[in-house]
Chain A
Amino acid sequence: MKELLRIENLHASIGGKEILKGVNLVINEGEVHAIMGPNGAGKSTLSAVLTGNPAYEVTEGKVWLRGEDLLAMEPEVRARAGVFLSFQYPVEIPGVSMTNFMRTAINEKRAYEGKEPLSAKEFLALMREKKKLLELPDKLNNRSVNEGFSGGEKKKNEIFQMAMLNPCLAILDETDSGLDIDALRIVAEGVNRLKTPQNASIVITHYQRLLDYIVPDFVHVLADGQIVKTGDKNLALELEEKGYEGL
């Protein structure tokens, strides 16, 4: 099995307050890792640090993506190299249409890979194909990014962008929060259909519910900035039953 991501002794802080206190994690191609834990454990900080959010400071540790120093890359380079974050709170960008946004993103990634940009026709065909996967309406193209989208539409839109960009490592940060059961099913099916033997995902969630749909190979418990327990999918069930205090 080929190693995709390696996190070693990762420490990170925001505003001088240490949140991650030595995280270690190895993710191989084809694997789904769930990260669970109580509020404030550092789950969202981990996703922010892996994607290069400038609000956070890495104070110690290393992260490699396919053997390359991930932390040395600019956020956009990490994205082009295949790290994708499904945001817990997707950002509204008034005045920038989904089409313009997505086309710019795709072509920036293609340029990074040394490929020609997609023509307007090829691009629109790709949009149509991927939108079906998430049961998103056609009118989405002309709307501003996430502006006026419902909570469910925003989360579907995240997975739609994931389908468009075809990342090697997808981080789903609380993708289930605010979703009703139908939207959850559509989002989870979308994620499952994007799974290949070459890519991997990190599913960050507070509840076991999402893991009924996206079945993880490993479940990690993050508490007070460290991974304190690792198991298989049964660990999630155990947590649901006993709570984090029961560990």
Chain B
Amino acid sequence: MKVSKGDIFERVFVNEEVNLQIDQESGSHVKIHVINASFSITVNQLGEGCHTEIYALEHLRGEENVTAETHVTHAVGGGSSNQLIKFVLDDNSRGRFIGDLKIAQDAQQTEAHQTNRNLLLSEEAEMRTQPQLEIYADDVKATHGASTGQLDESALFYMQQRGIGKEKARQLLVNAFMKDVIETIGDQYADVREQLLNTIDGVVE
């Protein structure tokens, strides 16, 4: 599909597999959220000054197996992209993130960020992360980071020391981990955002 000059394409997919190939014309804006589903999203910034945002939150349980795949290409300069992909893996679940980010030689003054954070809640869960950056332009600002860890034991103990049961403490920490992805959902999808925030956050603030 094509997002025309200056247009905005914004979508939130919940529990729905996503397969998208998008060409962006100059000044267009793509903002996609995927919640709890496999996806493959390819975005080509073909015009100047495009903006691309891809956010994903994958909370996996049981035998679930989810692959998140992004291929973002900055063919032309002056654009920006931001990706935040988070996995929470429980039980025997499997997660995989493949993230290709390419900044072509002509794509000067591009700003591109790719972040993948994963939380393992069980010994059996497994996460594979394959970020791949190809940067051919020299005047760019690009960052990427990938990390996979477990719940912070010292935070768990701190909460237990205040009387919060271990399970509830774990839940609060997991919710805190997931929250920032959901909070990036725009007002156009405010109802979905609030519903998701409510399901992860039982306590009204």
Contacts and interface: CB of A to CB of B under 8 A. Distances in A.
Partners in one complex: yes
**Residue of B154, B155, B160, B173 contacting most chain A CB atoms (<10 Å):** B160
Given A99-B205, A101-B172, A105-B164, A93 B157 contact: no
A164 B204 CA distance: 19
A142 B180 CA distance: 15
Contact of B176 (A76, A96, A99, A102): A96
A38 interface: no
Contact of B161 (A75, A93, A112): A75
Contacts, number: 83
Interface residues of A, number: 36
Contact of A51 (B159, B161, B176): B161
Interface in B160-205: 160-166, 168-169, 172-173, 175-177, 179-180, 201, 203-205
Given A101-B164, A102-B162, A144-B176, 15 more contacts: A75-B161, A76-B169, A84-B161, A87-B161, A91-B158, A93-B155, A95-B179, A96-B173, A101-B159, A101-B162, A105-B159, A105-B162, A108-B165, A142-B205, A145-B158
Interface string A90-113: 111111110111111100110010
16 contacts: A53-B157, A54-B153, A74-B166, A75-B161, A79-B160, A79-B163, A91-B152, A91-B157, A93-B176, A94-B176, A95-B180, A100-B201, A104-B168, A104-B203, A105-B162, A112-B163
A165 interface: yes
A85 B161 contact: yes
B121 to A, nearest CB: 16
What is the size category of the interface that chain B forms with chain A?
20 to 34
Contacts of A109: 163
B158 A87 contact: yes
Nearest to B204: A120
Contact of A103 (B169, B179, B203): B203
Interface of B: 152-155, 157-166, 168-169, 172-173, 175-177, 179-180, 201, 203-205
B205 A97 contact: yes
Contacts of A21: none
A79 B162 contact: yes
A100 B169 CA distance: 11
Contacts of A165: 162-163
Contact of A161 (B162, B173, B176, B204): B162
Interface of A: 51-54, 74-76, 79-80, 84-85, 87, 90-97, 99-105, 108-109, 112, 120, 142, 144-145, 161, 165
Contact of B205 (A100, A105, A108): A100
A108 B161 contact: no
A161 B158 CA distance: 12
B158 A104 contact: no
Contacts of A144: 176
Contacts of A104: 164, 168, 172, 203
B5 to A, nearest CB: 38
B205 A90 contact: no
Contact of B155 (A51, A74, A80, A91): A91
Contacts of A84: 161
A109 B45 CA distance: 55
Contacts of B172: 96, 100-101, 104
In this complex, the member of B162, B164, B166 whose beta carbon has the largest number of chain A beta carbons within 10 angstroms is B162
